[in-house]
Protein backbone atom coordinates (compact mmCIF):
# COMPACT_ATOMS: atom_id res chain seq x y z
CA UNK A 1 0.00 0.00 0.00
CA UNK A 2 1.19 3.59 -0.58
CA UNK A 3 2.47 5.36 2.51
CA UNK A 4 5.42 6.01 4.76
CA UNK A 5 7.14 2.97 6.28
CA UNK A 6 9.40 3.55 9.29
CA UNK A 7 11.63 0.50 9.13
CA UNK A 8 13.84 -0.71 11.99
CA UNK A 9 17.20 -2.15 10.94
CA UNK A 10 19.75 -4.15 13.01
CA UNK A 11 21.92 -2.53 15.72
CA UNK A 12 24.78 -4.91 14.99
CA UNK A 13 23.64 -8.42 14.24
CA UNK A 14 22.22 -8.59 10.69
CA UNK A 15 20.00 -11.52 11.71
CA UNK A 16 17.88 -8.98 13.58
CA UNK A 17 16.33 -7.63 10.38
CA UNK A 18 12.74 -8.84 10.17
CA UNK A 19 11.18 -10.67 7.22
CA UNK A 20 8.67 -7.84 6.96
CA UNK A 21 11.41 -5.20 6.93
CA UNK A 22 13.14 -7.00 4.05
CA UNK A 23 9.91 -7.17 2.06
CA UNK A 24 9.03 -3.53 2.69
CA UNK A 25 12.54 -2.36 1.74
CA UNK A 26 12.40 -4.46 -1.43
CA UNK A 27 8.94 -3.25 -2.47
CA UNK A 28 9.39 0.45 -1.61
CA UNK A 29 9.77 2.99 -4.42
CA UNK A 30 12.53 4.70 -2.48
CA UNK A 31 14.40 4.32 0.78
CA UNK A 32 15.19 7.53 2.66
CA UNK A 33 18.42 6.89 4.59
CA UNK A 34 20.26 8.72 7.32
CA UNK A 35 23.46 7.71 5.48
CA UNK A 36 23.02 6.17 2.04
CA UNK A 37 26.44 4.47 2.10
CA UNK A 38 25.74 2.82 5.43
CA UNK A 39 22.33 1.55 4.30
CA UNK A 40 23.73 0.43 0.94
CA UNK A 41 25.86 -2.14 2.80
CA UNK A 42 22.73 -3.57 4.39
CA UNK A 43 20.85 -3.56 1.08
CA UNK A 44 23.74 -5.24 -0.73
CA UNK A 45 23.90 -7.92 1.94
CA UNK A 46 20.26 -8.79 1.34
CA UNK A 47 20.31 -8.25 -2.44
CA UNK A 48 17.87 -5.32 -2.32
CA UNK A 49 18.06 -2.91 -5.27
CA UNK A 50 15.63 -0.16 -4.21
CA UNK A 51 16.96 3.36 -4.91
CA UNK A 52 18.06 5.37 -1.90
CA UNK A 53 17.91 9.06 -1.04
CA UNK A 54 19.58 10.83 1.88
CA UNK A 55 17.48 11.96 4.80
CA UNK A 56 19.39 13.24 7.80
CA UNK A 57 19.56 15.88 10.53
CA UNK A 58 20.69 18.61 8.11
CA UNK A 59 18.09 18.16 5.37
CA UNK A 60 15.26 16.67 7.44
CA UNK A 61 13.07 19.74 6.95
CA UNK A 62 13.46 20.23 3.20
CA UNK A 63 13.51 16.47 2.48
CA UNK A 64 10.35 15.96 4.52
CA UNK A 65 8.48 18.36 2.21
CA UNK A 66 9.83 16.70 -0.92
CA UNK A 67 9.07 13.19 0.29
CA UNK A 68 5.63 14.21 1.51
CA UNK A 69 4.80 15.48 -1.99
CA UNK A 70 5.83 12.08 -3.42
CA UNK A 71 3.81 10.31 -0.72
CA UNK A 72 0.73 12.37 -1.58
CA UNK A 73 1.18 11.27 -5.19
CA UNK A 74 0.96 7.65 -4.01
CA UNK A 75 4.59 6.61 -3.45
CA UNK A 76 5.71 3.94 -0.99
CA UNK A 77 8.63 5.39 0.91
CA UNK A 78 10.67 3.57 3.51
CA UNK A 79 12.68 5.49 6.11
CA UNK A 80 15.67 3.89 7.82
CA UNK A 81 18.39 5.23 10.10
CA UNK A 82 21.95 3.98 10.37
CA UNK A 83 20.94 1.45 12.99
CA UNK A 84 17.92 0.45 15.00
CA UNK A 85 14.57 2.17 15.05
CA UNK A 86 14.18 5.41 13.07
CA UNK A 87 12.96 8.33 15.15
CA UNK A 88 14.61 7.03 18.32
CA UNK A 89 17.65 9.30 18.84
CA UNK A 90 17.70 9.32 15.04
CA UNK A 91 15.91 11.12 12.18
CA UNK A 92 12.42 9.92 11.37
CA UNK A 93 9.89 11.69 13.57
CA UNK A 94 9.77 14.85 11.45
CA UNK A 95 8.80 13.03 8.25
CA UNK A 96 6.30 10.94 10.20
CA UNK A 97 4.63 14.12 11.48
CA UNK A 98 4.69 15.68 7.99
CA UNK A 99 3.11 12.58 6.45
CA UNK A 100 0.41 12.45 9.13
CA UNK A 101 -0.35 16.16 8.62
CA UNK A 102 -0.67 15.49 4.88
CA UNK A 103 -3.11 12.65 5.51
CA UNK A 104 -0.68 9.96 4.30
CA UNK A 105 -0.73 6.55 6.06
CA UNK A 106 2.30 5.88 8.29
CA UNK A 107 3.31 2.29 9.06
CA UNK A 108 5.78 1.31 11.80
CA UNK A 109 7.89 -1.73 10.94
CA UNK A 110 9.26 -2.63 14.38
CA UNK A 111 12.58 -4.28 15.11
CA UNK A 112 15.87 -3.68 16.88
CA UNK A 113 16.25 -0.84 19.38
CA UNK A 114 19.28 -0.52 21.65
CA UNK A 115 17.41 0.98 24.62
CA UNK A 116 14.81 -1.80 24.82
CA UNK A 117 17.36 -4.55 24.18
CA UNK A 118 19.51 -3.18 27.00
CA UNK A 119 16.57 -2.71 29.34
CA UNK A 120 15.15 -6.22 29.13
CA UNK A 121 18.47 -7.82 30.06
CA UNK A 122 19.57 -5.15 32.54
CA UNK A 123 18.15 -6.77 35.64
CA UNK A 124 16.51 -3.43 36.50
CA UNK A 125 12.75 -2.92 36.59
CA UNK A 126 10.98 -2.98 33.24
CA UNK A 127 7.51 -2.06 34.46
CA UNK A 128 8.09 1.67 34.31
CA UNK A 129 10.95 3.25 32.43
CA UNK A 130 11.91 6.49 30.71
CA UNK A 131 14.09 6.80 27.64
CA UNK A 132 16.17 9.96 27.91
CA UNK A 133 18.31 9.86 24.79
CA UNK A 134 21.90 11.04 25.04
CA UNK A 135 23.16 12.57 28.27
CA UNK A 136 24.37 16.15 27.67
CA UNK A 137 28.08 16.34 26.82
CA UNK A 138 28.72 19.32 29.11
CA UNK A 139 29.37 18.43 32.75
CA UNK A 140 27.04 21.06 34.23
CA UNK A 141 24.06 20.14 32.05
CA UNK A 142 24.69 16.44 32.65
CA UNK A 143 24.62 16.86 36.43
CA UNK A 144 21.40 18.87 36.21
CA UNK A 145 19.75 16.11 34.17
CA UNK A 146 20.85 13.51 36.73
CA UNK A 147 19.77 15.61 39.72
CA UNK A 148 16.34 16.11 38.16
CA UNK A 149 15.67 12.40 37.59
CA UNK A 150 12.62 11.05 39.40
CA UNK A 151 13.57 8.94 42.43
CA UNK A 152 10.64 6.60 42.17
CA UNK A 153 12.36 3.37 41.24
CA UNK A 154 11.49 3.72 37.56
CA UNK A 155 14.33 2.80 35.21
CA UNK A 156 16.08 5.65 33.40
CA UNK A 157 17.72 4.85 30.06
CA UNK A 158 20.48 6.86 28.42
CA UNK A 159 22.53 6.49 25.27
CA UNK A 160 26.17 7.24 25.92
CA UNK A 161 29.42 7.33 23.97
CA UNK A 162 32.58 5.45 24.97
CA UNK A 163 34.63 8.62 25.40
CA UNK A 164 32.17 10.12 27.89
CA UNK A 165 31.02 7.10 29.84
CA UNK A 166 33.57 7.41 32.66
CA UNK A 167 32.63 11.05 33.27
CA UNK A 168 28.94 10.12 33.17
CA UNK A 169 29.45 7.34 35.73
CA UNK A 170 31.44 9.71 37.95
CA UNK A 171 28.50 12.12 37.85
CA UNK A 172 26.00 9.35 38.66
CA UNK A 173 28.20 8.51 41.63
CA UNK A 174 28.39 12.14 42.73
CA UNK A 175 24.61 12.59 42.54
CA UNK A 176 23.36 9.22 43.84
CA UNK A 177 26.31 7.80 45.80
CA UNK A 178 28.70 5.00 44.87
CA UNK A 179 26.30 2.22 45.80
CA UNK A 180 23.64 3.23 43.25
CA UNK A 181 22.84 0.16 41.14
CA UNK A 182 23.46 0.64 37.42
CA UNK A 183 23.56 -1.50 34.30
CA UNK A 184 25.69 -0.76 31.27
CA UNK A 185 24.94 -2.61 28.04
CA UNK A 186 27.76 -2.51 25.52
CA UNK A 187 27.90 -3.68 21.91
CA UNK A 188 24.40 -5.19 22.01
CA UNK A 189 23.78 -8.03 19.55
CA UNK A 190 27.43 -7.89 18.43
CA UNK A 191 30.29 -10.32 18.92
CA UNK A 192 31.55 -8.57 22.05
CA UNK A 193 28.18 -7.87 23.65
CA UNK A 194 28.68 -7.21 27.34
CA UNK A 195 26.62 -6.22 30.38
CA UNK A 196 28.22 -4.54 33.39
CA UNK A 197 25.79 -4.68 36.29
CA UNK A 198 26.39 -3.59 39.86
CA UNK A 199 27.07 -0.58 42.03
CA UNK A 200 28.11 2.47 40.06
CA UNK A 201 31.47 2.71 41.88
CA UNK A 202 32.33 -0.90 40.94
CA UNK A 203 31.24 -0.52 37.34
CA UNK A 204 33.24 2.68 37.00
CA UNK A 205 36.34 1.10 38.55
CA UNK A 206 36.04 -1.89 36.25
CA UNK A 207 35.81 0.29 33.14
CA UNK A 208 38.52 2.69 34.32
CA UNK A 209 40.91 -0.24 34.73
CA UNK A 210 40.64 -1.09 31.03
CA UNK A 211 43.23 0.06 28.52
CA UNK A 212 40.43 1.49 26.40
CA UNK A 213 36.66 1.80 26.60
CA UNK A 214 34.97 1.20 23.28
CA UNK A 215 31.71 0.39 21.64
CA UNK A 216 28.20 1.70 21.67
CA UNK A 217 26.46 1.67 25.01
CA UNK A 218 23.24 2.10 26.96
CA UNK A 219 23.44 3.30 30.57
CA UNK A 220 20.59 2.44 32.93
CA UNK A 221 19.78 3.31 36.52
CA UNK A 222 16.70 3.21 38.70
CA UNK A 223 17.01 5.79 41.48
CA UNK A 224 14.94 5.15 44.62
CA UNK A 225 13.62 7.74 47.08
CA UNK A 226 16.06 6.50 49.70
CA UNK A 227 19.07 5.10 47.90
CA UNK A 228 20.57 1.80 49.08
CA UNK A 229 23.45 3.79 50.53
CA UNK A 230 21.09 5.72 52.78
CA UNK A 231 19.07 2.63 53.74
CA UNK A 232 22.33 0.83 54.51
CA UNK A 233 23.60 3.56 56.77
CA UNK A 234 20.27 3.78 58.62
CA UNK A 235 20.36 0.02 59.22
CA UNK A 236 23.91 0.36 60.54
CA UNK A 237 22.93 3.21 62.86
CA UNK A 238 19.99 1.24 64.24
CA UNK A 239 22.25 -1.76 64.82
CA UNK A 240 24.81 0.46 66.58
CA UNK A 241 22.11 2.00 68.80
CA UNK A 242 20.72 -1.40 69.76
CA UNK A 243 24.22 -2.58 70.61
CA UNK A 244 25.11 0.50 72.68
CA UNK A 245 21.86 0.18 74.66
CA UNK A 246 22.73 -3.40 75.35
CA UNK A 247 19.39 -4.56 73.96
N1 LIG B 1 17.92 4.44 16.54
C2 LIG B 1 18.84 3.69 17.38
C3 LIG B 1 18.04 2.69 18.23
O4 LIG B 1 16.89 2.40 17.90
O5 LIG B 1 18.58 2.20 19.23
C6 LIG B 1 19.73 4.59 18.21
C7 LIG B 1 20.59 5.52 17.42
S8 LIG B 1 21.62 6.58 18.36
C9 LIG B 1 22.19 7.74 17.17
C10 LIG B 1 23.08 5.64 18.63
C11 LIG B 1 23.27 5.26 20.10
O12 LIG B 1 22.43 4.14 20.38
C13 LIG B 1 24.67 4.82 20.47
O14 LIG B 1 25.50 5.91 20.81
C15 LIG B 1 24.42 3.92 21.66
O16 LIG B 1 24.22 4.69 22.82
C17 LIG B 1 23.09 3.27 21.25
N18 LIG B 1 23.35 2.01 20.53
C19 LIG B 1 23.18 1.78 19.21
N20 LIG B 1 23.54 0.51 18.90
C21 LIG B 1 23.94 -0.06 20.07
C22 LIG B 1 24.44 -1.35 20.42
N23 LIG B 1 24.60 -2.29 19.50
N24 LIG B 1 24.76 -1.58 21.71
C25 LIG B 1 24.61 -0.63 22.66
N26 LIG B 1 24.15 0.61 22.38
C27 LIG B 1 23.82 0.90 21.11
pLDDT digits (tens, 9 = 90+) for 144-192: 999 999 999 999 999 999 999 999 999 999 999 999 999 999 999 999 9
Left, alpha or beta for 185 (phi > 0: left; psi -120 to 50: alpha)?
A: beta
Phi/psi region, residue 165 (left: phi>0; alpha: psi -120 to 50; beta: rest), is alpha
Q: If you take atom 8 of ligand 1, which residue's CA is the nearest one? A: 89
Counting ligand 1 atoms within 8 A of each CB, the residue from 6, 33, 84 with the most, and so the one to mutate, is 84
Q: What's the angle, vertex CA 205, arms to CA 200 and CA 207, rounded to 5?
A: 95
State which ligand 1 atom lies nearest to the alpha carbon of 87: 1
Is ipTM beyond 0.90? yes
Atom index in ligand 1 nearest the CA of residue 118 equals 25
Q: Tell me how far the alpha carbon of residue 231 lies from the centroid of ligand 1, in angstroms.
A: 34
Mutate which of 57, 134, 159, 214 for ligand 1 pocket (most atoms within 8 A of beta carbon): 159
32-36, 58-62, 93-97: segment of lowest average pLDDT: 58-62
pLDDT confidence of residue 227: 53
Q: Residues with Cβ within 6 A of ligand 1?
A: 11-12, 81, 83-85, 88-90, 113-115, 159-161, 185, 187-190, 216-218
Amino acid sequence: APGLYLVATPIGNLEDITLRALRVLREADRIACEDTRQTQKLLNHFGIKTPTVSYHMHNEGSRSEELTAALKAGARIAVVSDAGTPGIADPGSQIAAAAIAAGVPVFPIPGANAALAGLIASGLGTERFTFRGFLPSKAGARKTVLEDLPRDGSTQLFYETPHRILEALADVEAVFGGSEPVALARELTKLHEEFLRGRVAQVRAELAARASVRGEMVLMLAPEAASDAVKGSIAEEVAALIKSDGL
